[in-house]
Chain A
Amino acid sequence: MNREIEGIYALWKRELITFARSKSRVIGSLGMPFFFLAILGTGLNNAFPLPTGGNYLQFITPGIIGMVLMFGSMFSGIIVLMDRQFGFLKETLVAPISRLSIVVGKALGGATTAMIQGTIIMVIALFLGAQIQILDVAMLFAFMFLISIMFVSLGIAIASTLQDMHGFQLIMNFMIMPLFFLSGALFPLSSAPEPLRIISMLDPLTYGVNGLRFILLGHSDVSFGVSLAVTSAFTVVFIAIAMYLFNRIEE
């Protein structure tokens, strides 16, 4: 058991080292959310009244944090593909540790780096003048962790079924972007047309964004209890799928 924990720790550390070394990845991952906040957020700040009250920058801040968490953790998961293409995955697969430990190490590492990115963008939002209040710091980080684990698992599951990086662009455009736009990160779902609202209810990120919005703003379209329950349920399902698919990788 101790051995498995050592292995998990080592793989977690590897994720952090690699993340810290690739400055382009860190900066690149914060570029788009920064522009959303700085340009879209401040640009539309006084353009229209929100049904929920408050200004637009404040409204999208939890949404953008959710987006950073999703992008960062999905990417960490999908990077399994690169490990595979460049051979490193083989080294971990033949080591005397279980595949469960490999997935857990990877997922914890990916979640940690995603949370670092999420925290950075939250600080940036504060500097831009977003009025957010953190109701409960422990709850905030716990919820950020939950969202990250959910999407790392989804990323690992996807990576386990793809053969190379060619499919990555497809996933980016047809999965990650729609998930982001449908989540109600940029507009209130309560005033959205009925069909859109129904589709949004199938999006795991909707519950992530609404949970964050409740913690940071004190109100949300979906109640906090429901957000927490649904996010947890999606997380469990995605972990199970990731484990199942990762176990099937040969070599």
Chain B
Amino acid sequence: MNAIEVEGISKHYGSLRAVDGVSLSIESGTIFGLLGPNGAGKTTLIAMLVTMRRPTSGSARVNGFDITKQADSVRKSIGIVFQDPSLDDELTARENLELHAAMYAVPKQVRHGRIEEVIKLVGLEKHLKQQVKTFSGGMKRRLEIARGLVHHPKILFLDEPTIGLDPQTRAGIWDYIKKLNEKEGITIILTTHYMDEADSTCQRVGIIDSGKIIALDTPENLKNTLGGDVISIKCGGTDQCVNEISQLKWVKGAVKHGGFVDVRVEKGEEKIPKILRLMEQHGIPVESVSLHKPSLDDVFLHYTGKTIREDEAGPRDAMRLRRRAWGHRK
């Protein structure tokens, strides 16, 4: 059974096609990652799936319910963790969960049990009576995940679940997400900037750029299609470098990004001396060379021609990061 079926869905804002004819299906019980640069259409696609936005055209079914005709049924069957914090800071953790349970019509008899259950899942059982404004950024995130689970959704949507958190807390959050998926069998659909984390967490990923899905597979398969090794060269004159290298017949691809040129080849260790010689012949100064197996970053670069690093985040994301970092008080 598929948790999500999307057929030719589009969302236009004036002449901008934020999402442009996306079709996609996600099997129940998987962790699916939606990856894309800022403004690629990730958030818009998710907003349509959770019935916050109506599609311009096309249709989608979530847990078998149509997102436009059965929005209420969709909402009851999914949990959402937003990119921006959405807790009431003045309320305690328990009060936040109770309010959520009431709005999602969790029967009164089971409410107490559910709250105990989800709070243990994220390890916050000692903080139930505390006001949320005393929580750290990571604790708030965990509480939001717990809240998304109170009404026992079949699918949990997580929009950038780890943005703005320190690496240790991030690792913790991913552990909780994996545990949820394994123990509870919940389908998880997430977006993230962190490619290595997507790689180690997601069973399948979709890469979205300019509103279109351009790659869809397991991280393993995506990396394998790139094949061989990646040689990263830091040099002056990246344009000339790409030109020269592309002419070599054993080169499978060369792209520049920042001050680097990434070259895909087989048996990379044997090709480094050849490349260095070529650079010297053309008088291109080389600062450093490194060799690695393709990562999801390389896959991303291959398909979109861009990298997805955090330091490329726009001003709005920068503000979000700061707000999280400061614990974001009222």
In this complex, what residue of A is CB-closest to B74?
A96
Q: Report Cα–Cα, A17/B330, bound state, in Å.
A: 16
Contacts of A90 in B (CB 8 A): 82, 84, 86
In this complex, what residue of B is CB-closest to A6?
B102
Interface stretch (choices A49-57, A80-88, A190-198, A204-212): A80-88
Cβ-based interface call for B72 (8 A)? yes
CB proximity of B275 to chain A, nearest CB, Å: 50
Contacts of B51 in A (CB 8 A): 94
The one of A83, A86, A87, A97 in contact with B103, judged by C-beta atoms closer than 8 angstroms, is A97
CB proximity of A12 to chain B, nearest CB, Å: 10
CB proximity of B62 to chain A, nearest CB, Å: 13
Interface stretch (choices B88-96, B261-269, B290-298): B88-96
- Encode A132-152 as 1/0 by CB contact (under 8 A) with B: 000000000000000000000
Question: How many inter-chain contacts with C-beta < 8 Å in the A-B complex?
Answer: 71
Contacts of A87 in B (CB 8 A): 82, 84-87
- How extensive is the interface on chain B, given as a class? 20 to 34
The one of B50, B72, B85, B98 in contact with A10, judged by C-beta atoms closer than 8 angstroms, is B98
CB proximity of A250 to chain B, nearest CB, Å: 8
In this complex, what residue of A is CB-closest to B88?
A88
Given contact pairs A88-B86, A91-B100, A17 touches B50 in the complex (Cβ within 8 A):
no
Is the Cβ of B52 less than 8 Å from the Cβ of A10?
A: no
Is the Cβ of A6 less than 8 Å from the Cβ of B105?
A: yes
Contacts of A11 in B (CB 8 A): 99, 103
Contacts of A45 in B (CB 8 A): none
Cβ-based interface call for A18 (8 A)? yes
Is the Cβ of A92 less than 8 Å from the Cβ of B90?
A: no
Cβ-based interface call for B250 (8 A)? no
Cβ-based interface call for B104 (8 A)? yes
Is the Cβ of B50 less than 8 Å from the Cβ of A96?
A: no
Cβ-based interface call for B112 (8 A)? no
Is the Cβ of A14 less than 8 Å from the Cβ of B75?
A: no
CB proximity of A3 to chain B, nearest CB, Å: 4
Contacts of B99 in A (CB 8 A): 10-11, 13-14
Is the Cβ of B87 less than 8 Å from the Cβ of A92?
A: no
Q: Report Cα–Cα, A229/B315, bound state, in Å.
A: 52
Contacts of A9 in B (CB 8 A): 102
Cβ-based interface call for B67 (8 A)? no
The one of B47, B82, B90, B100 in contact with A18, judged by C-beta atoms closer than 8 angstroms, is B90
Contacts of A13 in B (CB 8 A): 99
Q: Report Cα–Cα, A226/B278, bound state, in Å.
A: 94
Contacts of B147 in A (CB 8 A): 91
Is the Cβ of B91 less than 8 Å from the Cβ of A10?
A: no
Interface residues in chain A, defined as those with a beta carbon under 8 Å from any beta carbon in chain B? 3, 6-7, 9-11, 13-14, 17-18, 21-22, 82-83, 86-88, 90-97, 250-251
Which 9 pairs of residues, A with B, have the shortest CB-CB distance? A10-B102, A87-B86, A95-B103, A96-B75, A3-B105, A91-B86, A96-B76, A7-B103, A18-B90
